[in-house]
Structure 1
């Protein structure tokens, strides 16, 4: 029987494959070691290979596409309802293949190496920022136990710690001064890492023509443009701008029944990092719109009077996502009205 669909359950070392024919009858299954995966699929005729969009999926998707297979990545939450029987790797592979045959099943676009490079830059930078925030909060809390108070904010901690170390009359012990100095050195090191990653992101944004076009849109800076390109790519994975907003969780949740439409707050699905950057960029545009008179600013000011600053910022973030998709999908430049 000719194999038309393959469900591939990914792992670090051991992979499980279940094969189906055109009638979706199971015609074979096999366990593969990592070194055997490419050899196995190179002997198969080109077919549909379905995988969960998990760690390593984009790498294997690119490799299998080079062999001529049609790769479909599916979000794990959409695969779970198709699992039958007990939890095991073969049943997971069967569920992946079953989900892939559904005509309306949405697929995750396979990221290129460049997109994954950009994503790695942002993930490392975001993690260092979290560590810096945690370290500052920890230093403030430790100093407070000695009756000394530091104001909130990284800049405040950066200024206050050297002053505390130089003050010999504040009651800090020799041991704690050494610990505080060590924490301050760690803070300086973290800021060096953050500056490095930020510089790399700004450099890639300057070199990427798509990022330069996005930065002409209000609310898009080098960081927002970089991560937007890394997530959306050329925009061809989405049919329309609203699909991008929905993928980023910037559209209302729906809880309707009995013909009664009920819309709630935004769904907050998808990449929360990019969504937060878009909202922060939109908030900056909203705050500066009061002194402007262009059509976008007029729309912002009218909406702000009716709905408030926060809802206006989210609505503008939705609009920015659609505008960014249009520029990437149609390969055009931003022309303010």
Structure 2
């Protein structure tokens, strides 16, 4: 085991495929382990470099490796693909990860802290509530349309749907359908409360973080954007300057140059979609209403 210079791990839900390379790049180790046996293996292995793709569970495993004294490296999956040889299987993937990690020009992903991942969970749950609320409003609107009523797309109207029906629309609704609408409307109101709860959690995190307060001094940046930066940007030192960060988010022009002729297209839309969306919404708010813009 002392000959292993770098260990590539292909991560799955319950099993892990390991391939070890020596200092010259030759394969000297190959094994398939369960999650429990993997932890025992890493704890009893001499200190080495452990590489894996940046995917679900990789940040947790990387922190475990660091706790055992190993050097953990996370690689974006798209940078591993060119090193996959011939057919694809789990051991070939692990071998490609080990080889990609040895490249001098390889770009690695910074390991997220536990608190950053918790913020990501809060944001994902909030996003799921937003999607459920949109779907709930669409269902109520489609139900009413089946009975001859075109419901306006507005949260104010949705919150007072029954007053709207009586005041602005005289179409009768069957009693059983009215009960179904009431149940669905209660679900809509519950989702509103759940979203507000998630917003409060994010606000509390931002209020107690010095970096987030500094981010909020930027026009258009509010609790959502600041908390997203805390969760998604593991280490600001990974970026040489602001333009590099903008390129990582996908806000810089996409380049398609050839024959010495530079050609810049629209924004690349690469990288972090959620963070890019928040920055664009914040910029739009500042441009449209510079004096009354609401930070996002």
Deviation by residue 1:14-37 (Cα, 9 ceiling, x = unmatched): 111000001000001011111011
Q: Structure 1-normalised TM-score?
A: 0.82
Which residue in 1 is equivalent to 2:266?
265
Which residue in 1 is equivalent to 2:241?
240
Deviation at residue 66 of structure 1 after TM alignment = 1.1
Deviation at residue 210 of structure 1 after TM alignment = 1.1
Which residue in 1 is equivalent to 2:136?
135
Deviation by residue 1:111-164 (Cα, 9 ceiling, x = unmatched): 001100111111111111111111111211110111112111222222224543
Distance between the aligned counterparts of 1:9 and 1:157, measured in 2?
Answer: 48
CA 167–256 in structure 1, closer or farther in 2 if over 3 Å, else same: closer
Q: Which runs of 4+ in 1 moved over 6 A?
A: 165-168
Q: Confirm or deny: 8 A CA contact 1:165 1:181 kept in the other structure.
A: no
Number of residues paired by the alignment? 291
Distance between the aligned counterparts of 1:113 and 1:95, measured in 2?
Answer: 28
Q: Confirm or deny: 8 A CA contact 1:140 1:157 kept in the other structure.
A: no
Q: Confirm or deny: 8 A CA contact 2:19 2:31 kept in the other structure.
A: yes
Which residue in 2 is equivalent to 1:70?
71
Which runs of structure 2 are paired with 1:98-247 in the superposition (5 Å)?
98-164=99-165, 170-247=171-248
Deviation by residue 1:4-61 (Cα, 9 ceiling, x = unmatched): 1111001111111000001000001011111011211222222211101111000000
Which residue in 2 is equivalent to 1:249?
250
RMSD between aligned alpha carbons? 1.8
Q: Secondary structure at the match of 1:236?
A: helix
Q: Secondary structure at the match of 1:265?
A: strand
Q: Confirm or deny: 8 A CA contact 1:161 1:180 kept in the other structure.
A: no
Deviation by residue 1:267-304 (Cα, 9 ceiling, x = unmatched): 11112111111111111111234x69xxxxxxxxxxxx
Q: Confirm or deny: 8 A CA contact 2:110 2:235 kept in the other structure.
A: no
More deviation, 13-22/131-140: 131-140
Deviation at residue 251 of structure 1 after TM alignment = 0.9
Q: Secondary structure at the match of 2:160?
A: helix
Q: Confirm or deny: 8 A CA contact 1:165 1:177 kept in the other structure.
A: no
Which residue in 2 is equivalent to 1:19?
20
